[in-house]
Amino acid sequence: MATNLKNLSDYNPDDIPSGEGMKIGIVLAEWNTEITHALLEGTVRSLTKHGVNEADILIEHVPGTFELPLGAQLIMESGDLDAVICLGCVIQGETRHFDFICQGVTQGITELNLKYKRPFIFGVLTTDTLQQAKDRAGGKHGNKGVEAAITALKMVDISKKH
């Protein structure tokens, strides 16, 4: 479903498993900080709202979105984490750089999920404009960080069942 048809922050709290006892890593791209810090705020707020202890949230910064997969792998290997949430923002420019970054990050995060059999969450905005990114980082379409946090909680719950 297109984001403009759904608010990224809307969910039924009754459908969300408790995050109590979970340890969650967050890898945050420093590029487009206005956007990524808003995503981080939504992510942390949602995790703690659902029972994750703030001391059990490990946050690591990487220079840009392309570095998210390696940063996620490094923090997964450094601690006993249940999931890693990757937060970034890539805004279309005048060159194909956007395509290469988006494809590389998507493939990298996919591979981490399969390699570690633990959730690595794709919390990356890929927008045409800065305004579209703002709309999805706490603006009129909600906050992708909230969606990423809820996805992490659900996927950890699923992974603990299997």
Enumerate the domain spans of the chain.
22-161
At residue 1, does pLDDT exceed 60?
Answer: no
Whole-angstrom distance, CA of residue 106 vs CA of residue 93: 18
At residue 134, does pLDDT exceed 60?
Answer: yes
**What 8-state DSSP symbol labels residue 1?**
-
Q: How sure is the predictor about 4, in pLDDT bands with cuts at 50, 70 and 90?
A: low
**Known catalytic residue at 97:** yes
At residue 21, does pLDDT exceed 80?
Answer: yes
Whole-angstrom distance, CA of residue 47 vs CA of residue 74: 21
What is the pLDDT averaged over residues 91-115? 92
**Residue-level pLDDT at 3:** 60
Contacts of 18 (CB under 8 A, 6+ apart): 50, 51
Report the first-to-last Cα separation within the chain, whole angstroms: 28
Question: Starting from the edge strand earliest in sequence, which strands make up the sheet with 24-29, in order?
Answer: 57-62, 24-29, 83-91, 120-127
**Residue-level pLDDT at 125:** 97
At residue 103, does pLDDT exceed 70?
Answer: yes
Which candidate in 50, 61, 97, 141 is catalytic?
97
Q: Is 52 helix (H, G, I), strand (E, B) or coil?
A: coil
Q: Is 72 helix (H, G, I), strand (E, B) or coil?
A: helix
What CATH number was assigned to the domain covering residues 22-161?
3.40.50.960
**Residue-level pLDDT at 2:** 61
Residue 162 vs residue 150, higher pLDDT: 150
Helix (H) or strand (E) holding 87: strand 83-91
**pLDDT for 45-82, tens place per residue?**
999 999 999 999 999 999 999 999 999 999 999 989 99
Whole-angstrom distance, CA of residue 56 vs CA of residue 23: 5
Whole-angstrom distance, CA of residue 84 vs CA of residue 113: 10
For residues 35 and 119, the answer to whether their CB atoms sit within 8 Å is: no
**Residue-level pLDDT at 64:** 96
- What global pTM score does this model have? 0.95
**How many angstroms from the chain centroid is the CA of residue 123?**
3
Q: What are the C-alpha distances in Å from 118 to residues 31, 96, 109?
A: 26, 31, 11
**Residue-level pLDDT at 94:** 79
**Residue-level pLDDT at 13:** 87
